[in-house]
Amino acid sequence: MRIQVLGVGFDNMTLDQAAAEGVRLMNTEGVHYAVTPNPEIVEICREDPEAAAAVNGADLVLADGIGVIYGAKILGTPLKGRVTGISFAQALMERMAGSDKSLFLLGAKPGVAEKAAENLRRQYPGLNIAGTHDGYFQEDGPVAEAIRASGADVVFVCLGAPKQEKWMRQNGAASGAQLLVGLGGCLDVFSGEVERAPEVFQRLGLEWFHRLVTNPSRIGRMMKLPLFLVHVIQEKWA
């Protein structure tokens, strides 16, 4: 049973449980996809039914963002903890390295996915990266076909929300992969283009604050966080 937070159902899992489930899905025939919604995405889903269907239709819905954890707690149905997209991706790559599973990196500006692939091959010796593609394409078909041709089992889809969730839902099957994971700006971090928040910020659940300070133009998007908390409190009172 998923834990509902404002219309999005979250799987109640630790990082290890989520990684084990990810490995199970990549070894299970057919297409599966995982999403990692934060409060901003929950708010998007409230306004966009197609986004909500794509998020709730995922095989794995992980709570990325401390706001979701607070929201679930306020609503009286606490989650075990946060599983950020980036930590989930890292846990999957640790388990894929040295196995027969291969990875495709999709998204971000031209050149970023290639740079991320270079770094990840160094960081995870034995990790098989079957291919990369930037995230600024016009037609979905040729991209899904490129993934299929690469033979990748797993795809990190980093197109931003809710584009990546919709993309996985619509094109997952055509990609031939077993598991697709929507990971927002992760390739920017893996490539070194964007610095991840220092560990103390991560531990305190303040990564959003670090992102805001280093990239103040995100302020508009981040206004969704207080709005999310207002909606949670309204729901609690209702």
**107 binding ligand UDP? (CB under 6 A):** yes
What is the chain's alpha carbon radius of gyration, rounded to the nearest angstrom?
A: 17
Residue closer to ligand UDP by CB (options 22, 65) is: 65
Residue type, 131: G
Q: How many CB atoms lie within 10 A of CB 223?
A: 12
Residue closer to ligand UDP by CB (options 38, 178) is: 38
Q: Nearest distance from residue 236's CB to ligand UDP, in Å?
A: 26
Interface pick for ligand UDP out of 109, 151, 203, 234 (rule CB under 6 A): 109
Q: Which of residues 142-201 bind ligand UDP (CB under 6 A)?
A: 158-161, 163, 184-185, 187-188
**136 binding ligand UDP? (CB under 6 A):** yes
Residue closer to ligand UDP by CB (options 2, 109) is: 109
- DSSP one-letter code for 106: E
Q: Walk across the sheet containing 154-158 and list its strands.
A: 60-61, 32-35, 179-182, 154-158, 102-107, 128-133
Residue closer to ligand UDP by CB (options 131, 135) is: 135
C-alpha–C-alpha distance, residues 156 and 168, integer Å: 10
Judged by CB under 6 A, the number of residues near ligand UDP is 14
Q: Nearest distance from residue 211's CB to ligand UDP, in Å?
A: 8
Q: Nearest distance from residue 107's CB to ligand UDP, in Å?
A: 4
Given a contact cutoff of 8 angstroms between Cβ atoms, the answer to whether 93 and 124 are in contact is yes
**135 binding ligand UDP? (CB under 6 A):** yes
Residue closer to ligand UDP by CB (options 118, 235) is: 118
In which residue are the tokens 């084990």 written? Answer: 20
C-alpha–C-alpha distance, residues 35 and 24, integer Å: 16
Interface pick for ligand UDP out of 23, 58, 108, 152 (rule CB under 6 A): 108
Ranked by CB distance to ligand UDP, the top (closest) residue is 135
E strands in 67-149: 102-107, 128-133
Given a contact cutoff of 8 angstroms between Cβ atoms, the answer to whether 181 and 153 are in contact is no
Q: Nearest distance from residue 160's CB to ligand UDP, in Å?
A: 3
Residue type, 165: E
Give backbone dihedrals phi and psi of 168, rounded to 5 degrees, phi first: -65, -40
- Binding footprint of ligand UDP on the chain (CB under 6 A): 107-109, 135-136, 158-161, 163, 184-185, 187-188
